[in-house]
């Protein structure tokens, strides 16, 4: 594997004197996988003597773990880099240093270009090289700018340190666990196959061991992550082929792991065993993020989603038959190239047919290198704005109806943390909503039976039964 290096004029400032312990601040953008990755990078650096800082001001290494999914997300990084450059200059004036790194999907997509646009950046490292980050940082501190965006042949996860028990405890009673990374689906709007590479599944043994360690450090709810998490596949201990459903059953056997979730799923990878897990596995929470993106068959085809609106409706019916109280969430894109008013109406129609408890919706953003960006029938911004507004009005209405439907009902709530107000605890409902309760209702890590008294715009309020 190669490490591309660019010599800089700045001299190394390692003088060998005893210095204060180094501190790293990682700022995370984008999806949950970036949240997970930021923690893994912090673990690698902790093994190299770095403790965690709460903000950039207190750190001598700042990493921006970036997202490339939409133009806005990627551009945010450059404004933050401008701010860090000024901080670096101020420090240099008083003889202190600041190492600036860019990681994540912008790092992968733009590589060296980032340093060209912002010369204050010392290192750029893509998601497949995080196990090497301590070396890369040392190289940068030695005065050589580092750009590492290869897809190395070695297994990153094998080389990442195990999640640190103390750090995990401090991180709380819920945790993410990446089981699958990358994507082979190539939806025509999406950069993920380019930034995260080909679909890779982690082996069963590695995943079980990581989940066991999480359980030992007090985690009670694990969310399995993957860009297409339900495409995960592996070989079980008995030599048979396992899909995500089998894996979930295995993880539920771990003492202490009481709740399981997974995200994000692709409709084409919801197989029978996984649907059966929703019926038979109590630990699997009745909540599923299952993006459909659009409702019109023509748009779905142009997006290369490889299913129709009715395929999706039938799938949702099967899932609901298995687990009647399941709530769905989704992602939607408005204004994909060529989307007509009639196509957009089909998106509204599928939302009305399916009904969502939660949803994320976006204006189509043409991304360099994706087929959608090259099309000459882009939709005007004003049209996208108007469609997004209508879509969000409908989704908000559904979200409210769902939250209100829970008032008066009893449910198990995992107490997660102290509330913002004294005397409050914040828990999590099976449907992922924050539930505000009284501190006497339970300790952090307890799962308590709660009756919901009220539904606010972003959270529920309840009392222990």
User: Of 193 and 335, which has the nearer Cβ to ligand SF4?
Assistant: 193
CB atoms closer than 10 angstroms to residue 246:
19
In whole angstroms, what is the distance from residue 111 CA to residue 30 CA? 18
| Strand residue runs (E) in 199-279 | 200-201, 221-225, 233-235, 241-243, 259-263
Mapped onto helix, strand or coil, the DSSP state of residue 43 is helix
**289 touches, from ligand F3S, ligand SAH, ligand SF4, none (C-beta below 5 to 8 Å by class):** none
Question: Which long-range contacts does 12-21 make (Cβ < 8 Å, 24+ apart)?
Answer: 12/141, 12/142, 12/143, 13/97, 13/143, 14/141, 14/142, 21/49, 21/50, 21/51
Binding residue for ligand SAH, selected from 68, 70, 88, 196, defined by CB under 6 A: 70
Provide CB contacts within 8 A for 263, sequence distance 6+.
32, 223, 224, 225, 229, 289
User: Of 31 and 247, which has the nearer Cβ to ligand F3S?
Assistant: 31
The count of C-alpha atoms lying within 13 angstroms of the C-alpha of 77, restricted to the half-sphere facing its C-beta, is: 32
**At its nearest, how many Å lie between ligand F3S and the CB of residue 109?**
8
Is 63 a binder of ligand SF4 (CB under 6 A)? no
Size of the site for ligand SF4 (CB under 6 A): 10
Is 102 a binder of ligand F3S (CB under 6 A)? no
**193 touches, from ligand SF4, ligand F3S, ligand SAH, none (C-beta below 5 to 8 Å by class):** ligand SF4
Is 193 a binder of ligand F3S (CB under 6 A)? no
Binding residue for ligand SAH, selected from 174, 195, 365, 398, defined by CB under 6 A: 365
In whole angstroms, what is the distance from residue 394 CA to residue 391 CA? 5
Paired residues of 223 in beta bridges: 176, 261
Is 264 a binder of ligand SAH (CB under 6 A)? yes
User: Of 105 and 288, which has the nearer Cβ to ligand F3S?
Assistant: 105
**At its nearest, how many Å lie between ligand SAH and the CB of residue 372?**
7
For 217-306, where are the alpha helices, taking DSSP H only? 244-252, 272-280, 297-302
Size of the site for ligand SAH (CB under 6 A): 17
Binding mask 224-243 for ligand F3S (x = CB under 6 A): ---x----------------
Which of 357, 465, 454 lies closest to 407 in space, CA to CA? 454
**At its nearest, how many Å lie between ligand SF4 and the CB of residue 226?**
9
Q: Of residues 172-191, which lie at the interface with ligand SF4 (CB under 6 A)?
A: 183, 185-187, 190
Is 299 a binder of ligand SF4 (CB under 6 A)? no
User: Omega of the bond prior to 439 within 30 degrees of 0, cis?
Assistant: no
Which of 218, 215, 206 lies closest to 157 in space, CA to CA? 206
Q: Which two tokens stand for residue 145?
A: 């700018």
Q: CA geometry: angle at 113 spanning 112 and 118, to 5°? A: 100
Q: Which stretch binds ligand SAH (CB under 6 A): 94-102, 185-193, 390-398, 419-427?
A: 185-193
Q: Which stretch binds ligand SAH (CB under 6 A): 158-166, 248-256, 318-326, 358-366?
A: 358-366
Q: Of residues 215-234, which lie at the interface with ligand SF4 (CB under 6 A)?
A: 227-228
Instruction: Kindly list the residues in this chain that would bind ligand SAH in the complex (CB under 6 A).
Output: 69-70, 189-190, 192, 227-228, 264, 266, 291, 293, 331, 333, 362, 364-365, 367
């Amino acid at each position: 594997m190669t490490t591309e290096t660019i010599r800089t004029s700045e001299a190394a400032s390692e003088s060998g004197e005893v210095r204060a312990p180094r501190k790293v601040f990682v700022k995370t953008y984008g999806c949950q996988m970036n949240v997970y990755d930021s923690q893994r990078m912090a673990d690698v650096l902790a093994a190299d003597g770095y403790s965690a800082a709460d903000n950039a001001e207190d750190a001598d290494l700042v990493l921006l773990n970036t997202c490339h999914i939409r133009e806005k997300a990627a551009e945010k990084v450059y404004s933050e880099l401008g701010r860090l450059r000024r901080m670096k200059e101020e420090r240099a004036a008083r003889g202190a240093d600041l190492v600036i790194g860019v990681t994540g999907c912008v790092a992968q997509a733009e590589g060296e270009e980032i340093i060209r646009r912002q010369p204050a950046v010392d290192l750029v490292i893509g998601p497949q090289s995080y196990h090497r980050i301590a070396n890369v940082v040392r190289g940068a501190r030695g005065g050589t700018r580092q750009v590492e965006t290869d897809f190395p042949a070695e297994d990153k996860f094998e080389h990442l340190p195990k999640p640190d028990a103390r750090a995990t405890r401090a991180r709380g009673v819920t945790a993410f666990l990446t089981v699958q990374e990358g994507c082979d689906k190539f939806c025509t709007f999406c950069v993920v196959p380019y930034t995260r590479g080909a679909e890779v599944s982690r082996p069963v043994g590695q995943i079980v061991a990581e989940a066991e360690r999480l359980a030992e450090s007090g985690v009670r709810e694990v969310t399995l992550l993957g860009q297409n998490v339900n495409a995960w596949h592996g070989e079980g201990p008995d030599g048979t082929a396992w899909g995500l459903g089998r894996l979930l059953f295995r993880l539920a056997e771990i003492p202490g792991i009481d709740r399981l979730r997974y995200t994000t799923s692709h409709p084409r990878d919801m197989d029978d065993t996984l649907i059966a897990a929703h019926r038979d596995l109590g630990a699997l929470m009745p909540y599923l993020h299952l993006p459909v993106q659009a409702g019109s068959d023509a748009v779905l085809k142009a997006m290369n989603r490889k299913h129709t609106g009715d395929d999706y409706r039938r799938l949702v019916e099967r899932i609901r038959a298995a687990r009647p109280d399941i709530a769905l969430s989704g992602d939607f894109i408005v204004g994909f190239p060529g989307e007509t008013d009639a196509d957009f109406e089909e998106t509204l129609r599928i939302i009305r047919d399916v009904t969502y408890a939660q949803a994320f919706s976006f204006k189509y953003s043409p991304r360099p290198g994706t087929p959608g960006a090259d099309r000459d029938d882009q939709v005007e911004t004003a049209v996208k704005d108007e469609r997004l507004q209508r879509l969000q009005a409908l989704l908000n209405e559904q979200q409210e109806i769902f939250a209100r439907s829970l008032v008066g009902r009893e449910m198990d709530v995992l107490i997660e943390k102290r509330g913002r107000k004294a005397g409050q605890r914040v828990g999590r409902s099976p449907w992922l909503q924050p539930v505000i309760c009284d501190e006497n209702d339970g300790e952090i890590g307890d799962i308590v039976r709660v009756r919901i008294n009220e539904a606010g715009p972003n959270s529920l309020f309840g009392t222990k039964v």
